[in-house]
Amino acid sequence: MMQTVLVLTAVIFSLAAGGAIIRIARGPSLLDRVLAADVLLAILGGALCVDMAVNRHLNNLMLVVAISIIGFIGSVTVARFVADRREQPNES
Amino acid sequence: MSPDATGLDFWIDLVSAAFMVVGAILSLGAAIGLLRFPDLLSRMHAATKPQVLGLFLLLAAIGLQMRSWWVWPVLVVAWIFQLLTVPVSAHMVGRAGYRTKHLHRELLTADELEAVVQKAAAKTAREDGSGDGQVR
């Protein structure tokens, strides 16, 4: 059962990561890209969690904790220094 | 665990497998929401699903699969820090998106920030005298 779950979650996570990467590449504004990068980080953490749960090891647990503690700094920094360079609003 | 708990083992496996699949589907939902929603604020709504509930389900799956109690405090620490830090980044991104007008105003049902912004603009205009009244 666990191998089936592993394959199923791998497929779902790959599709989700692909969608987030498409939004990073296509996002009309910088904030959309930052948000999609946050989602990509969450997907990465989720994939690490699934790997640990299926294979029953805890090698990546500290990495997951570190992601949850300091993962917000990047988006906060970018959101702090974002500037409005567009001509007309509501184009996104 | 007690030695005659093979049935219990099966059920714990089943519950953690369901948690993992649902957590992965939440990530997929966030990706679909990122691709399909029209503006930044609604995309932020979709983006919080794997960050809070998805991470909770996957951490619970780890705790169920490891079959030991001592991992649970570490998992709770990870989830609580996620709960503490995700609103900070969401607040900053939301305020920056509002400030740079990355939103469709016709989709809003209530805009409580506009009154605050106008009040602050009026206050700075009064204090500056000839200030431009822009609040950034």
Q: Residue with structure tokens 């369901």? A: B18
ipTM surpasses 0.90: no
User: B131 lies in a domain?
Assistant: yes
User: B95 lies in a domain?
Assistant: no
CB B31 within 8 A of CB A19: yes
Q: Are both B84 and B47 inside the same structural domain?
A: yes
B3 phi and psi angles, rounded to 5 deg? -70, -25
Distance of CA B133 to the CA centre of its chain: 33
Digit-coded pLDDT (tens) for B111-122: 788 888 888 888
Helix, strand, coil shares of chain B, percent, nearest 5, are 80, 0, 20
Q: Are both B110 and B61 inside the same structural domain?
A: no
Set of chain B residues whose Cβ sits within 8 Å of the Cβ of A50: 20, 23-24, 58, 61
Query: Which range of residues forms the domain containing residue B108?
Result: 104-136
Set of chain B residues whose Cβ sits within 8 Å of the Cβ of A5: 17, 20-21
Digit-coded pLDDT (tens) for A42-63: 999 999 999 998 888 888 889 9
CB A40: neighbour CB atoms within 10 A?
21
Q: Are both B46 and B73 inside the same structural domain?
A: yes
Compute the nearest-CA separation of A27 from chain B (Å): 9
Question: For residue A65, which of B26, B69, B84 has the smallest C-alpha distance?
Answer: B84
How many distinct structural domains can be found in chain B? 2
